[in-house]
Amino acid sequence: MRKMIYLETVIMPKLIKNSKQKSMPEKEYPERKSIIYSQNFLKSPELVHHLLENTSINSNDIVYEIGPGKGIITEQLASRCQKVVAIEKDRKLSLRLKHRFSQNPKIEIREGDFLKYKLPSFEYKVFSNIPFNITADIIKKLINTENSPSDTYLILQKEAAKKFNGFPYTDKETLFSLLIKPWFKPEVIHNFRPNDFEPKPNIDTVLFRLEKRKKSLINNQEAQLYRDFITYVFNQWKPNAKESLKKIFTNKQLTKLAKNLDFNKSATVTQIKFDQWLGLFKYFLVGVEPAKKQFIIASTTRLEKQQKKLQKIHRTRTQTDWRRYIHKK
pLDDT in tens, 15-64: 333 333 443 443 444 444 444 456 789 999 999 999 999 999 999 999 99
Within 10 angstroms of residue 308's Cβ, the number of other Cβ atoms is 10
* Alpha helices by DSSP H, 2-134: 45-53, 72-78, 91-100
Angle between helices 274-287 and 220-234 (to 10 degrees): 110
Length of the chain: 329
Q: What is the pLDDT of residue 314?
A: 58
321 or 80: which carries more pLDDT confidence?
A: 80
Q: What is the pLDDT of residue 308?
A: 80
Using an 8 Å Cβ cutoff, are 213 and 184 in contact? yes
Q: What is the mean pLDDT of residues 172-196?
A: 97
In angstroms and rounded to an integer, the radius of gyration of the C-alpha atoms of the chain is: 23
Burial class (CB in 10 A: 0-12, 13-18, 19+), 312: exposed
- Residue 69, sorted as left (phi over 0), alpha (psi -120 to 50) or beta, turns out to be left
Q: Please give the Cα distance from 73 to 109 (Å, whole number).
A: 13
Q: Please give the Cα distance from 57 to 81 (Å, whole number).
A: 7
β-pairing verdict for 83-88 and 125-129 = unpaired
Q: What is the pLDDT of residue 116?
A: 96
Question: In sequence order, what E strands does the chain have?
Answer: 41-42, 62-66, 83-88, 107-111, 125-129, 151-157, 184-191, 197-198, 205-212
**Torsion angle of C-alpha atoms 296, 300, 301, 307, degrees rounded to 10:** 130
Q: What is the mean pLDDT of residues 143-160?
A: 96
CATH 1.10.8.100 domain position(s) in the chain:
220-297
Bridge partner list, 108:
85
Q: What is the mean pLDDT of residues 287-312?
A: 87
Using an 8 Å Cβ cutoff, are 142 and 114 in contact? no
Q: What is the pLDDT of residue 5?
A: 32
311 or 178: which carries more pLDDT confidence?
A: 178
Q: In 3D, which of 75, 128, 81 has the Cα closest to residue 104?
A: 75
Q: Binning pLDDT at 50, 70 and 90, where does residue 316 land?
A: low
Q: What is the pLDDT of residue 251?
A: 95
Using an 8 Å Cβ cutoff, are 211 and 184 in contact? yes
Angle at 246 between CA 174 and CA 221, to 5 degrees: 60
Q: What is the pLDDT of residue 313?
A: 72
Reply yes or no on whether the pLDDT at 206 is more than 80: yes
Q: What is the pLDDT of residue 315?
A: 59
Q: Euclidean distance between the first and final Cα of the chain, in Å?
A: 47
Secondary-structure percent of the chain, ordered helix, strand, coil, rounded to 5? 45, 15, 40
Class (C level, CATH) for 35-212: alpha beta
Reply yes or no on whether the pLDDT at 12 is more than 70: no
- What is the pLDDT of the chain when averaged over all its residues? 86
Q: What is the pLDDT of residue 204?
A: 97
Element at 317 (helix H, strand E): helix 299-328
Q: What is the pLDDT of residue 319?
A: 53
Bridge partner list, 328:
none
Q: What is the pLDDT of residue 69?
A: 93
Q: Please state which CATH number belongs to domain 220-297.
A: 1.10.8.100
β-pairing verdict for 151-157 and 205-212 = antiparallel
CATH 3.40.50.150 domain position(s) in the chain:
35-212
Q: What is the pLDDT of residue 32?
A: 44
Condensed to tens digits (0 to 9), the pLDDT of residues 74-127 reads 999 999 999 999 999 999 999 999 999 999 999 999 999 999 999 999 999 999
199 cis-preceded (ω within 30 degrees of 0): yes
